[in-house]
Structure 1
C-alpha cells in the first residue's frame, strides 16, 4: 500500500474494444434426437451438453450465440506511458495445471510485452471473465487445433493491444456505482428427490462423491438445508462506459442482452464477481437440460 501511494500521479483513462471471433466459441451443443442422455435423477432430459468433441456426429449445432467483444479499460500517465489495463473477454478458461492463473496470468504477461513494458515496471495488467458460462476457446465445429496455452494467451493479448491503441483518452470522467443484495430461493428438491438423495448419501458414508449421482445427491441435501442464498450485484459507471458485476456463471446471450440494454455508449460484464453462485442459464436453456441446468449451489 505504501508503494502504491508513492506511485500516485496524474493520469488519463480510456476504454475501447475489438471483436475477437477466433478465440471464443459456444461449448454447449444440442444433441441429435437419438442421442438424448440421462440426467443423474434418472430422467431422459439431456438434450444439450458441454464439450461434444470436434465435428462430432452426435450433435446438430451450438445451443446459443457467442459474445466476441474483447474490451479494455486502461489508465496511462499524461505523458502516455501505460499504467494499468483491465481487459474483459467472454471465455471460460483455457485449462492449466492445478496451481495456476490459467491463461489470465499469461495474458497479463504478454500484454505487458505488447505495450513495451518490462517485467520490473509498475505496469499492471489483468483479464476479467465475461459472460462465458457456455463459451470456451475450442471451436467444436472445426477440426482440433494444436495451439498451446501460451500461444492462446499471446493471441488474445495481441488483440487486446489493438483495442488499447484505439482508446480515446480522457482527463476527467464522471464516476458512479450502485450495489444491490438479493436474497433468492434455491430450487430445492421435492420429497421424492430428497429421499433419494439422503439414501445415496447414507450409502456413501464418509467417502467422497464418486459419480454425478453422488454429487447431485449431495447438492440436493445441501439445497434443502440452506433454502436461500444472498447474491451481490453491482453496476459501475466510468464516463460513458458501464460495467456489470455478477456472482454467477452467466450465458453469453444474457451478456449480449445486457450490452444491448445499457443506457451508456459502451458496456462489459464481469462474471464470477463477488461470489461463485453457480450457473444462471436463460429459461429456454432449461428445456435442453445438461449439467449447467441441474439444481446445485
Structure 2
C-alpha cells in the first residue's frame, strides 16, 4: 500500500509539473510591436555626402526618413532603427540612445541605429563640426573647406526626429503576430572588385575591360524579411535585409533605391506599412555590373529596377511566411578597441607636398588621397584606436548582427556561416562608422582598390574584419533561437471526400 501511495503521488506530481509547464508555455505573452517613421529630408543646397570632396543637392526626388520598429515581449524591449543616411557617427548614436532611454525607457544598448548608406541623402559627414579644431589651420582648411562635412542643424534634426520615431513606435506597440523568411534576388547586385591580369585587384574596372580575369569577391542574394501583422491580419510593418550599395541616385535628394522597395511593399499591403530597411555587408557590392555587355540603365530606371525587384521578392516572402508569436526578444553588445593603421612619416611628408602644390600639379585622385593622408595623420593625434561596437539583436528565430563599417560581403557570409540561427541578418554601418573594412586578402599582394587605401575615413588594421566577425558569431552563440512559426496542421481526413469532386465520369 505504501509503495502504491508513493507511486501515485509521484505520478500526480509529474502530471502537475507537466501541466504547469504547458500552462506556462501557453501563457507566454504575445509579443507587442510598434512602428513609426519621421521625415529627415535635407534642404536644397545642403551638402550631398558620398565622396571625399564637396557636392551639393540641387533637386528633390523623394523623402529621406528615419524608420523605427520596437519589439517588446514583456521582459525585454529592443528598437531597430533605419535612417536614410550615408552613415551615422558614434556621437550621434550616443545622443539618440541617451535621449530615448530617458524618454521612453528603452535601454541604450538595446537600440540598433543603422544607416542605409544612401548616397543621395543628407549631410551627416564625412567630417563632423569641430572634429579637427585641434589641428593646424592648414589641416582645418582641408577638413572643413575641401572635404564633405556634416551640417550642425541637420544633425540636430536627425537626432530629434529619430528620438520621436522610436518613442512613437514604443507607444504604439500592440499585440502582433510575426513571421520571418528568406527569398532570393540575383539580378540587381554585383561585386565591384576584380582580379586583373597585372596581378592586382581593381574596383570598377569598367565593362569591356579586356584585362578583367574574374570577380574578386562574392555577392549575397538573400532577401531576409521579418513581417509583423496586427490582430486584424493587416501588415503593420516589416524589416528587410539585403546586400547592395545605395548608389543608384535616382536624381536629387532621395532614400535611393530603398524608396522603391517601400513603394512596392506598400502597393501590395497598404500605404501605412512601415519599412525598416537594413543593408547587409555591401562594402564591395553595388548595382553596377562590370561584366555586362549592355549599357547601364539611367539612374532613375536603375533605382526602380533595384528597389522594385528587392521589394517584389520581399512581398513574395511576406505572402508565404507562417505567422506566430516571437517569444524571445534580446540584445547583447561587445565593444572592441581596434588600432588604426598609421601612414609612415615619409608618406605624410610627401602627401603634404602634393596637397600644397594643388590638384593642378598632380591628378585629382592623387591629390584627394594625399589630402586624406594629411587628415588621417591629424586624426591619429587624438584617436589612434577606434572603439567598435558589435551588437546582437534577437527577434524570435532571427538574429541581427551588426558592424559599424562598409563591411565586405565575404565577411557577412562568414557571420551567417558561424551563426546558430536559422535566419541571420548581418547589418552594416550600424551604431557608428569606421569606414571600409575589407577582407584580409584585399590587403595582400594581389589586393588593391580604393577601399584598401589609407584615409581619414578608412584606416583600421587589416585584421579588423575577422575580429568583428568573431565577435558577432560569439554573441549569436550566447542566444537561443525560437522555433520558427508553422502554418496550422490540416485536419485529419474524415473518410468523406468532397461530394462534387468524387463523381464518376458522365459521357451521355
TM-score by length of 1: 0.86
Deviations 1:12-53 (A, max 9, x none): 1221111211111111111222xx6xxxxxxxxxx1222222
Of 174, 193, 214, which residue of structure 2 is paired with 1:9? 174
Which is greater in Rg? 2
**2:451 corresponds to:** 292
Does structure 2 retain, via aligned residues, the 8 Å contact 1:174–1:239?
yes
Q: Secondary structure at the match of 2:429?
A: coil
Does structure 1 retain, via aligned residues, the 8 Å contact 2:188–2:305?
no
CA separation of 1:84/1:53 partners in 2, compared to 1, >3 Å: closer, same or farther?
Answer: same
In 2, distance between residues paired with 1:218 and 1:109? Answer: 41
In 1, distance between residues paired with 2:219 and 2:170? Answer: 41
Does structure 2 retain, via aligned residues, the 8 Å contact 1:104–1:126?
no
**1:129 corresponds to:** 279
**1:140 corresponds to:** 290
Matched, 1:278 2:435: yes
Q: How does 1:74-223 map to 2 (within 5 A)?
A: 74-96=227-249, 97-115=251-269, 117-118=270-271, 121=272, 123-144=273-294, 146=297, 147-204=301-358, 211-223=364-376
TM-superposed CA distance for 1:196, in Å, is 0.8
Q: Secondary structure at the match of 2:238?
A: strand
The list of structure 1 runs, each at least 4 consecutive aligned residues, that deviate by more than 6 angstroms after superposition, is: none
TM-superposed CA distance for 1:69, in Å, is 0.6
Matched, 1:73 2:226: yes
CA separation of 1:285/1:4 partners in 2, compared to 1, >3 Å: closer, same or farther?
Answer: closer
Root-mean-square deviation over aligned CA pairs? 2.3
The structure, 1 or 2, with the larger RCO (C-alpha pairs under 8 Å, 6+ apart) is 1
**1:42 corresponds to:** none
In 2, distance between residues paired with 1:230 and 1:55? Answer: 42
Does structure 1 retain, via aligned residues, the 8 Å contact 2:179–2:226?
yes
Gaps of 5+ in 1: 37-46
- Equivalenced residues, count: 279
Q: Which has the higher strand share?
A: 1
TM-score by length of 2: 0.52
In 1, distance between residues paired with 2:427 and 2:317? Answer: 18
Choose 222-231 or 123-132, whichever is displaced more. Answer: 222-231
Matched, 1:26 2:217: no
In 1, distance between residues paired with 2:275 and 2:208? Answer: 36
**1:44 corresponds to:** none
